[in-house]
Homo-oligomer: A and B are copies of this chain.
Amino acid sequence: MDDRTFAVLMAGGSGTRFWPLSRRRRPKQVLPFAGGVPLARAAFERVRGLVPPERVLVVTGADQVAALREILPEIPPDGFLVEPAPRNTAPCLGLAAVEAERRRPGALLLNLPADHVIEPVETFRETARRALARADAAGALVTFGIAPTRPATGYGWIRLGPETAPGVHAVARFTEKPDAATAEGFLADGGYRWNGGLFAWRADAFLGEVRTHLPALAEGLDALTADPARLGGIFPGLPEISVDFAVMERTSRAEVCLADFRWDDVGSLEALARLLPPDGTGNHGIGALLTLDGGSNVVVAPPGHLVAGIGVHDLVVIATPDVTLVCPRDRAEEVSRLVKELRRRGREDLL
C-alpha cells in the first residue's frame, strides 16, 4: 500500500465478558486466543503485510497500554493513542482519523478491532486491499461484510445492495441485533452479511460524514486538530456512541466489502468452544482437565493447574490464581454482570 495508508487497531477496553481471564491491565486483546498468540499481536501481524509498523496506530486506554506495548514492541511509542476515557468506537475512530490526517494529509485508514480472530491472513489482506481501493476511489465508508455462519442475534446484519465495484456492494439496510426468527430468515435468504466492525475509509471522507451526522463529535475533533495536546481535556467530553449507530447507519456513503475469511469476534468465554478444538473427552480448553462422565465444557486453567470434574456438562470453568468462575456456557455473556457487581462492592483488586 502507498504511504498514505494507516492501519488502526482498536484496542481499548478490558473485555469484561472475558473476566476473570481478562483484567483491567491484562485485557482480552493480550490473551493468547489466536492459536496461542495474543489477539492484538495476531491483529498486528495481520496488517503488517499491508503497512509498516510506523503506520500502525493502536488506540487504547491508560490501563491497557502497558500490556500492549509489551506485545507490540515494533510499533513506535507515538503509535499508541491513549484515550483519556473510553468513549466507544465513534470518538476512537475519529481520534485515529484526525491523527492519521495530521501525519499524512490524504490518509487512508484500515480500522480493525484488535481482539478478533481472522483467518487466513492472506484472504484478509486481499479483502482489505479491495476495501481500501474502493474507499480511496469513491470516498466510500466501507465496512467488511462477514459471511454469516449461524443465526446470531448479537450482531449487526447488512442487507446487500447492488454491486458498486468488484466484491463491494452498496448497503441496502442495517439491522442491529435482530430477534431469532429474523436472524434465521436473514441466514436463509443469503443476501445478508454480518457487520464485522472492520472499516476502510479516507480520513477526509469519514470526518466529513461525522460532521454531517454527529456535529458534536466533529467539533471536538476540530479542537483536537487545532491543538492535539488538549486530548485529555477534549476527549472525555465527546459523545459516547458507536460508529455504526452514529455514522454507518446514517450515511449514504456506506458500502460493504464481501469478506470471506473466517472471523470470530471472541465475544464471550463461550467463543473458546469455537476457537479451541475439543480434546478426547469433548471438552474445549487451555490447561489440564480431567472429567468423569462429563463433556462439552469450556475450561481454562494456568499451567500446572488441574480442573477436575464429575458429571459436569456445558459449563465454563475458569481457574485463575485469585478467581474461579463457574457458569453454564449459554450464560457466559453474563460474566460482565459479575464484573459490575464486584465493581459495586469495591473489589477493583479482582477486576
Contacts and interface: CB of A to CB of B under 8 A. Distances in A.
Contact of A322 (B20, B305, B312, B331): B305
B307 A324 contact: yes
Contact of A341 (B290, B327, B338): B290
Contacts of A328: 310-312
Contact of A317 (B290, B326, B347): B326
A325 B308 contact: yes
So how many copies of this chain end up in the complex? 2
A331 B310 contact: yes
Contacts of A323: 305-308
A344 to B, nearest CB: 11
A147 interface: no
Nearest to A323: B306
B338 A310 contact: yes
A324 B321 CA distance: 11
A347 B321 CA distance: 21
A292 interface: yes
Contacts of A338: 290, 292, 308, 310
A47 interface: no
Interface residues of A, number: 33
Interface in A318-338: 319, 321-328, 331, 334-335, 337-338
A335 B317 contact: no
B290 A306 contact: no
A350 interface: yes
Contacts of A35: none
A309 interface: yes
Interface in A197-234: none
Contacts of A321: 305, 321
Interface in A268-320: 290, 292, 301, 304-312, 315, 317, 319
B326 A292 contact: no
B324 A292 contact: no
Contact of A324 (B322, B324, B341): B324
A342 interface: yes
Nearest to A312: B326
Given A290-B341, A311-B327, A311-B328, 16 more contacts: A292-B338, A305-B323, A306-B322, A306-B342, A307-B326, A308-B338, A309-B326, A310-B327, A310-B328, A310-B337, A311-B334, A312-B327, A315-B326, A317-B326, A319-B319, A326-B326
Interface of A: 20, 290, 292, 301, 304-312, 315, 317, 319, 321-328, 331, 334-335, 337-338, 341-342, 347, 350
23 contacts: A20-B308, A290-B338, A292-B337, A292-B338, A292-B341, A301-B324, A304-B322, A306-B322, A306-B324, A306-B350, A307-B323, A308-B323, A308-B326, A308-B338, A309-B327, A310-B334, A311-B331, A311-B334, A312-B315, A312-B327, A312-B328, A317-B324, A317-B326
